[in-house]
A and B are shown apart, each in its own frame.
Chain A
């Protein structure tokens, strides 16, 4: 656990330090993933299904506000609808406008949720969204999540009925509109999913704010269970063909993601809970304090090899000068300072008995930190 906590702290530090790079890169990747997924699933307009274009738009999104991703996603989606049929585009524009006009004014900051919800649906784990939003969002996020669900089902309906819409002639305009509206807006499954996810989100939000012990874990697990129950009940009542296994597996993933969020956002030690009571002139205070579990990140001690080298170098140079003079005397050769340093060092190592008293420091360095002395030698040689 300590290792995990250390990793968490290091991640936090890294995010803080490289925030300027990490967020744009994250936005770029998310935009690229979302747009590629729209192109991959719909892909009716060939001109949009172009990697260079997707890359350019994703790159643009990386330095624009979060809302731009939703805007470009909607434009891509509408363009594919247009390529499929003008009637489908009409439905798409109307639904997107209603969503924008009615709901976006409540939670413009949550625009990312509108993009992430359909993405999670495509990844078969939409159950993560209500649990995660209940943990990190507020009750107003339920509205934006509902919009995301509607967006997914509309696009899904267009994809599912694509071939049938193409097969219908231009004189069957009303039939096309009816087909898309039936599958993408007036579908009972949509209402059940929106109701289940919204209730789950609100229950998770409500429970995690309570002062009981293990509130976050209780909120996550009960939210996931409630979600399963509502979806299954809706399936039984309205026969919506929601996959039981998929719901259960998705909910297990949602619990896992919820626990990860808890680890990063609300990791406390309930065993060390303190309850104190005090009063002032106006109130009695009943305070419950739960300590956070934190661990100090291991401080990296940086040894400045250069300073040690400089110190040893000064010793060596001094020594060198002496031995060089003696070597020069014995060999009677006129060498430069640099080469005499090399020579003297060799003579120091080789002729230890001669310079025993002075070489003690060098040996000492070698034994205490091998690397240090290695660098020392490397630099000198």
Chain B
């Protein structure tokens, strides 16, 4: 005989596993601190790439002026300014990353908790039989 409750539960579980289950399980393997550290580090890397691209465009935008001024330029001050912008941009980006991913982590943990609860329920149904 088909157990309707069991079938519904198994469908729910399979559907979750098919969609976001695998991804969520990966996230669930991390401790909160580790997960956020990894994501923030990734953001620092991506942020650096984006900053380099942006800086390249900035130089290209005023390339002729930049080339004219390059010998009169105080390289140390220029580098210091660029570095300040870089650090500020990375800090802002890291904070945004931290907020978004901590929110995401909490949500994922909740979903995983529900998933494991359903698994336990299914196991109980089997034991009952």
Contact = CB atoms under 8 A, between A and B. Distances in A.
Interface string B28-44: 00000000000000110
Main secondary structure of the interface of B (DSSP, over half): helix
B110 to A, nearest CB: 15
Contacts, number: 40
Contacts of A178: 61-62
Contact of B57 (A94, A102, A106): A94
A219 interface: no
Contact of A174 (B47, B53, B60, B100): B60
Nearest to B45: A101
B53 A105 contact: no
Given A106-B100, A140-B100, A101 B46 contact: yes
Given A102-B93, A140-B100, A174 B63 contact: yes
A229 interface: no
B57 A105 contact: no
A376 to B, nearest CB: 40
Interface string A173-209: 0100110010001000000000000000000000000
Contacts of B62: 178
B7 interface: no
Contact of B54 (A98, A174, A177): A98
B60 A98 contact: no
B69 interface: no
B42 A98 contact: no
B49 A101 contact: yes
A162 B46 CA distance: 32
B9 interface: no
Interface in A105-128: 105-106
A101 B50 contact: yes
A305 B22 CA distance: 51
Contacts of B53: 94, 97-98, 101
A91 B59 CA distance: 12
A90 interface: yes
Q: Which of A91, A101, A106 has the most CB of B within 10 A?
A: A101
A91 B47 contact: no
Interface in A125-147: 140
Nearest to B67: A174
A105 B46 contact: yes
Interface in A80-102: 90-91, 94-95, 97-98, 101-102
Given A101-B50, A102-B50, A91 B100 contact: no
A105 B94 CA distance: 13
Contacts of A95: 57
B60 A90 contact: yes
Contacts of B64: 174
A261 B50 CA distance: 36
A181 B46 contact: no
Nearest to A178: B61
B43 to A, nearest CB: 8
Given A98-B50, A105-B43, 17 more contacts: A91-B57, A94-B56, A95-B57, A101-B46, A101-B50, A101-B53, A102-B46, A102-B93, A105-B46, A140-B100, A174-B60, A174-B64, A177-B61, A177-B63, A178-B61, A181-B57, A181-B61
20 contacts: A90-B60, A91-B57, A94-B53, A94-B56, A94-B57, A97-B49, A97-B53, A101-B49, A101-B50, A101-B53, A102-B46, A105-B42, A105-B43, A140-B100, A174-B61, A174-B63, A177-B61, A177-B63, A181-B61, A185-B57
Per CB-CB distance, the 9 closest pairs between chain A and chain B, nearest first, are A101-B46, A102-B50, A174-B63, A98-B50, A101-B50, A94-B53, A177-B60, A101-B49, A98-B53
